[in-house]
Chain A
Amino acid sequence: MNPLLNSYLLAVQTAASAQELVDTTRNLVEYCPNLEPDSSDQKAAISCLIALLGINNPGAAVAAVDGLIACGSAAVDSLLNNLDEHNYGARAWAVRALAHIGDPRGLPVLKRAIEQDIGPSVRRAAAMGLGYLKLNELPESQRLETMQICLAGLSLGCADGEWVVRYAAVVGLENFLVNASAAYAEASRKLLLCRCQMQEEFIPVVRLRAAQALEKWPAP
């Protein structure tokens, strides 16, 4: 292992206080772009960052998620293989990382999360992520089916009992519209329209956000 990386990892592992853990995590994250993609060094850094998601230190977790997002697709396998079934805080951060990376391999996790995760913060991250999947990385033949799964999930998100999940679904839909074919665009717009209406959506901030999304995507 690269000795510099080794020292960063060691610093994280031996951090003596919450603040020191934030600082050492940030140092590690800053160093990550220097790592060879798909090297064993990068893998070691990624597993360290994933472990940091489960330790109830929001500062360190935010930094770790940023680091994982910066690693992009290289982090996806590890994220998928290390989802913590017993800690929804950790799961929320991991799903957030997957959502921001946008790798289509994350779809089954996002789908399951929006359908049945008990943690609102997990469903929140998933709702956003379903609108940010990089559909153009998929072969043409799979694109339509994937869009369908995303839209079904976003629709569930729009009906969630938690306002923050509905808010995230609206943000997801806004981005989903970038690549949506006419039929999907119409369905998305319908969902957004619902979130704008006072008799459907009781939370003002969700209505405002849906109005903003529709402003960006007026009906053709």
Chain B
Amino acid sequence: MVNSIPSNEPISEAEALERLSQQDDPSLQCYGAWWLGRMRSSHPEAIPLLLNCLNRQLNSIQLEPEALAVGRSAARSLGKLQAEAALPLLLKALNHPDHGLREAAARSLGELGDPVAIAALMGRLQQPLAGEPVGNGLNLAEPCEALLEAIGQIYLVSGIKASAESTKALEAFQCHSRPLVASAASRALLQLSGEAKWAEPMVALLQHPQLQMRRAALMDLAACGWRPAAEAISGCLAENSLKLIALRRLVEEPLGEPHPGALGAREKELLALMDGLL
């Protein structure tokens, strides 16, 4: 019955749950898991089923690509659904041999925002050779970008103070040869300290010759709510739609300030910048 619907058609929540619960076809499971996260399903069965899926992967010794894809998809969706019950399994997944599963777990731990995860994320980041390329050179030994982003995100939402030691560990990645990793480190440092000096490398990247790098810097500064970069964002050579999304974030969630309920002078300046991009 499950196979009667082609996998590329839009599906219902019931169909997604059914695909996730069967175990004969991993590709259908994978899609079901993705769908529930993407649609922010609030069905009471969604999180238990996703937890089952992830748990099965963690207890299995098989590392077939298809089975791993199901585990990764479940891990990602648990983060999107903000499933606090997933914390123990995601922490376990952070030590899984599969790079992709560790990456998915790191991102989801960031989305959960629970400071309990910081030690484990830091632990992976401080593995010897964590930032060195492995295999065909595509991946680093650890999913550093995801780890850094998650750490920054947790400090940001929890508001707890970072130890000098943690700050130092993050600083080490600021000079990483891959610009996206270096940028993720700057972003995390800015999020946990609110210090302008960490924003500078990202603001500088807004002038990078590659559009892709400029876009990444734009979104990193937005994720930090770094209002002093608003003018630089507005003038960056990137799509207006992206700049508008970034500026909206600066208006709504400024770093280290409460969400604005009324219009102050700075809010008016930010809105004027947005108006100019319509």
Contacts and interface: CB of A to CB of B under 8 A. Distances in A.
B228 interface: no
Nearest to B253: A204
Interface residues of A, number: 29
B278 A124 contact: yes
Contacts of A124: 241, 278
Contact of B263 (A164, A203, A208): A208
A208 B267 contact: yes
A208 B267 CA distance: 9
Given A204-B259, A208-B267, A120 B241 contact: yes
Interface string A1-35: 00000000000000000110010000000000000
Interface residues of B, number: 22
Interface string A112-148: 0000000011001101100000000000000000000
Contacts of A57: 211
Interface string B32-52: 000000000000000000000
A65 to B, nearest CB: 10
Interface stretch (B104-112, B135-143, B232-240): B232-240
B241 A121 contact: yes
B263 A19 contact: no
Nearest to A172: B278
B271 interface: yes
B241 A212 contact: no
Interface string A184-217: 0000000000000000000111001101100100
Contact of B209 (A18, A62, A99): A18
A-B CB proximity, top 7 nearest: A59-B237, A128-B278, A205-B248, A168-B278, A205-B251, A204-B252, A121-B241
